[in-house]
Structure 1
Amino acid sequence: MTFLSYAYRALSNFVFLGLVYFSLNYLEKYEQRAIVAILVFIYAAMHAFSALRSFSFFQRIERLEGETRRLVAASGEGPNSAASRKQIVSDVTALRHAGEIKAYIDLFFLALVILLCIAKIVTN
Structure 2
Amino acid sequence: MTFLSYAYRFASNFVFLALVYFSLNFLEKYEQRVVVSILVLIYAAMHAASALRSFYFFQRIERLEIEARRLALAAAEGPNAAAARRQIVTDVSALRHAGEIKAYIDLLFLALVILLCIAKIVTN
Please classify the TM superposition score into its range, dividing by the shorter chain length.
over 0.9
In the other structure, the counterpart of 1:58 is 58
Give the deviation of 1:75 after TM superposition.
Answer: 0.6
Paired residue total: 124
Aligned pairs (5 A) from 1:10-21: 10-21=10-21
Aligned residue identity for 1:68: A
Give % identity. Answer: 82
Aligned residue identity for 1:105: I
CA distance in 2, matches of 1:22, 1:11: 16
Give the deviation of 1:122 after TM superposition.
Answer: 1.0
Aligned pairs (5 A) from 1:75-90: 75-90=75-90
CA distance in 2, matches of 1:61, 1:90: 12
CA distance in 1, matches of 2:52, 2:101: 12
CA distance in 2, matches of 1:109, 1:9: 10
CA distance in 1, matches of 2:29, 2:45: 24
CA distance in 1, matches of 2:48, 2:112: 11
TM (normalized to structure 1)? Answer: 0.99
CA distance in 1, matches of 2:86, 2:42: 42
TM (normalized to structure 2)? Answer: 0.99
CA distance in 2, matches of 1:76, 1:82: 8
Unaligned runs of 5+ residues in structure 1 are: none
In the other structure, the counterpart of 1:73 is 73
CA distance in 2, matches of 1:56, 1:44: 19
